[in-house]
Amino acid sequence: MKQAILLISSILICFFGVYRLVTEPLSFIPVLFALCGGVGAIGAILRMRQPERYSR
Question: With a threshold of 0.85, does the pTM exceed it?
Answer: no
Model pLDDT, residue 54:
59
Give the tens place of pLDDT for each residue, 1-40. 788 899 999 999 999 999 999 998 888 999 999 999 999 9
Do 14 and 38 form a contact (C-beta atoms < 8 A)? yes
For the chain, the domains span 2-49
> Between 2-23 and 28-49, two packed helices, what is the crossing angle to 10 degrees?
150
